[in-house]
Amino acid sequence: MPAIPSIALTLAIPSYAMNAPMFPHAFQTAQALRENMEKVVLGKQEVVRAVVVALLAGEHLLLEDVPGVGKTLVAKALAQSIRGKFARLQFTPDLLPSDITGSMIFRSDTREFEFSRGPIFANVIVADEINRAPPRTQSALLEAMSEGQVSVDGTSHPLPKPFIVVATQNPFEFEGTYALPESQLDRFLLRTSVGYPSPEFERRVFETHRNGQPVEKLTSVVDAEQVVAAQQAVGHVRFDDALVDYLMAIVHATRSENGFDVGVSTRAALSFYRGCQANAITMHRDFVTPDDIKSLAVPTLAHRVSTSDVFQGASRSATEQRITELLQQIPVPV
């Protein structure tokens, strides 16, 4: 991902925000999650922060990377940390929507139909290689990701809270895959990569895995109620009017500037807004700064726009580069 030039921050920080934080429990929850996950997700602080931001914002995360770099590990570490139920869905061409949501089954003892819950009824879902299932099966996730429920035979079934989907896909292998529809991509707050570890941390991975999987021994540090409370606190993080204008300028530029075929939707803009609030919580702030907006602009918006680049393999870098250029052009509020 291209580096974003540093821009001096001249926005005054209210003294009360530093001396008397309004959301101490939310701050503690975010910090506890990050520190606990980093015990097993070694050397990937930004990836851990991304999944915590998505969780606190009540949204979802798309991890694009080669197999075997720890994408599932990130989700497992999160589930262990919040004492939540974990489920892994391996997406394949023959996977059916009912394999995800569940279905009605007939019970011979009661002679009635009963809803059998699918694996989607968990707190942390890994949708592994999500682009290997046909669009019909991928769409089974849409209602769950947007509404926190699934509907079967006209009846809605609420999903547990908190609920987060961590989807994975390989950006270098396209044979036998289906491109994710725009409506589904719009449900992911962030798209990021794990990347290869440095030699130092890869050596530590060898050491920590000598006696099995360390994530299985990871203890929980918060519970579901604390996570839900932190999610509620996110909505109260202050967003200065000047910064709202700055965020909107970035969003509207994707709809009007040359080089973009499809701009950011209103739903994506709202996700961007809430993601900035969640990011502030992870930084122990009850207010948004320009740095929150700049740091989230590329991973939040790049997968929601399209450029004139027709090559699938180059599309990610092209859209990320265009968003980065917009950040350089739009003045930061003072």
Same fold, 21-206 and 235-334: no
What are the tokens at 224? 């579901």
Q: Could you tell me whether strands 149-152 and 155-158 are parallel, antiparallel, or unpaired per DSSP bridges?
A: antiparallel
Q: How many other CB atoms are found less than 10 A from the CB of residue 310?
A: 10
Question: Can you give the pLDDT at residue 8?
Answer: 34
Question: Can you give the pLDDT at residue 308?
Answer: 66
Question: Can you give the pLDDT at residue 119?
Answer: 94
Three-state secondary structure of the chain = CCCCCCCCCCCCCCHHHHHCCCCHHHHHHHHHHHHHHCCCCCCCHHHHHHHHHHHHCCCEEEEECCCCCCHHHHHHHHHHHCCCCEEEEECCCCCCHHHHHEEEEEECCCCEEEEEECCCCCCEEEEECHHHCCHHHHCHHHHHHHHCEEEECCEEEECCCCCEEEEEECCCCCCCCCCCCHHHHCCEEEEECCCCCCHHHHHHHHHHCCCCCHHHHCCCCCCHHHHHHHHHHHCCCECCHHHHHHHHHHHHHHHHCCCEEECCCHHHHHHHHHHHHHHHHHCCCCECCHHHHHHHHHHHHHHHCEECCCCHHHHHHHHHHHHHHHHHHCCCCC
**Type of residue found at 187:** R
Question: CA of 26: how far to CAs of 11, 134, 227, 277, 291, in Å?
Answer: 24, 39, 8, 12, 20
Question: CA of 9: how far to CAs of 12, 53, 211, 296, 334, in Å?
Answer: 9, 22, 47, 16, 8
Question: Can you give the pLDDT at residue 86?
Answer: 96
State whether CATH 3.40.50.10890 applies to domain 21-206. no
Question: Can you give the pLDDT at residue 21?
Answer: 46
Nearest to 289 by CA among 30, 12, 59: 12
Provide the residue ranges of all domains of the chain, joining segments of one domain with +: 21-206, 235-334
Q: Which residues contact 14 (CB under 8 A, 6 or more apart)?
A: 287
Question: Can you give the pLDDT at residue 22?
Answer: 55
Rounded to an integer, what distance in angstroms lies between the CA atom of residue 331 and that of residue 260? 20
What are the tokens at 127? 């949708």
Whether a cis peptide bond, with omega within 30° of 0, leads into 162 is yes
**Tens-digit pLDDT string for the chain (334 aa):** 344 433 333 333 343 343 334 589 999 999 999 999 999 999 999 999 999 999 999 999 999 988 888 899 999 999 999 999 999 999 999 999 999 999 989 888 888 888 899 999 999 999 999 989 888 888 888 889 999 999 888 889 999 999 999 999 988 777 777 888 788 889 999 999 998 988 999 898 888 888 888 898 899 999 999 999 999 999 999 999 999 999 999 999 998 877 778 889 999 999 999 999 999 999 999 999 999 999 999 999 999 988 765 444 446 778 888 899 999 999 998 8
State whether CATH 1.10.8.80 applies to domain 235-334. yes
